[in-house]
Amino acid sequence: MDTHTEYAITVNGKLMEFSTPRIMGILNLTPDSFYAVSRKETAEDIAARTEQILNEGADIIDVGAYSSRPGAEHVSAEEEMSRLRKGLGIIRSIAPDAVLSIDTFRADAAAMCVEEYGASIINDISAGQLDERMFDTIARLNVPYVMMHMQGTPSDMQQNPLYVNLRMEIMQYFAGKIQELHSRGVNDIILDPGFGFGKTVDHNYELLKHLEDFHMFGLPVLVGVSRKSMIYKPLGCTPDEALNGTTALHGIALSKGADILRVHDVKACAEAVRLFNLMNEQI
């Protein structure tokens, strides 16, 4: 059954619709992201990764300069913004019109990327929890906002995640945050259940099994499971060996209505989306 629902957000003054799922390719400007291959620090690596993401079929490039893996080192605002300026300058020199999402929880970094480099989307793992100025900043910038659920902070989120009712608590969390954003005039909101962020492996699979429930809010849903521990731990492999498992979960997420897939491996994901779309064209 096709559970995919059509939504649209305004990106750079144009509608981006989701009649077909969109692909967000990951570009990490960090030395310590959990998947080593995704780390790009030199100008040559950043340029090559930008071209790869676009050539393999991504709709959005998600640029991050602060690793949010469990136990990652703290990065100062100054260092994060320095990395972003370097990376975005290179990206814009070869892809001036690319749709860029900025993976940051800091309002100042978000504003700098939108105002100085034309970033189109802000992707906040903390849904405003780690910077109380973020919601007002998003309202002022007037850009789409990816709002993720996370229990705790990146430094402690995986120590002992506990829920009385996982799905109800996340739904209530989103309901409150959506109301806060709407009160500020922000309507282009994308929901991310936050796979791996303050959740056990079982929590993650419960969310995936019931992913379609998140469409009750009438907003696009983003899924980020690429090469995460929910894949490599049950399979007894490493992030480097988790592509096959990732693609399997992408197929499940698509069947349950995922609107955006945030991925390391754009080519494999694009192939999954093409086959998913082919199935849905059938009568």
Per-residue pLDDT, 5: 60
Nearest alpha carbon to residue 42 among 30, 56, 34: 30
Per-residue pLDDT, 151: 86
Judge whether 83 counts as a catalytic residue. no
Nearest alpha carbon to residue 144 among 100, 196, 199, 97: 100
Is a pLDDT exceeding 50 seen at residue 271? yes
Is a pLDDT exceeding 60 seen at residue 231? yes
Q: Region 257-275: what's the mean pLDDT?
A: 98
Which tokens belong to 50? Answer: 């930008």
Q: How confident is the model at residue 171 (pLDDT cuts 50, 70, 90)?
A: very high
Per-residue pLDDT, 31: 74
How far, in Å, CA of 252 to CA of 255, rounded?
5
Per-residue pLDDT, 42: 87
CATH superfamily of 8-280: Dihydropteroate synthase-like (3.20.20.20)
The single residue of 228, 233, 256, 267 carrying the catalytic annotation is 228
Which residues touch 40 (CB under 8 Å, ≥6 apart)?
27, 28, 29, 46, 48, 49, 87
The pTM is what? 0.93
Per-residue pLDDT, 154: 62
Q: Which of 82-96, 126-140, 152-166, 227-241 has the lowest mean pLDDT?
A: 152-166
Per-residue pLDDT, 158: 60
Per-residue pLDDT, 34: 46
Per-residue pLDDT, 1: 43
Is a pLDDT exceeding 50 seen at residue 20? yes
Which tokens belong to 177? Answer: 């945050």
Judge whether 262 counts as a catalytic residue. yes
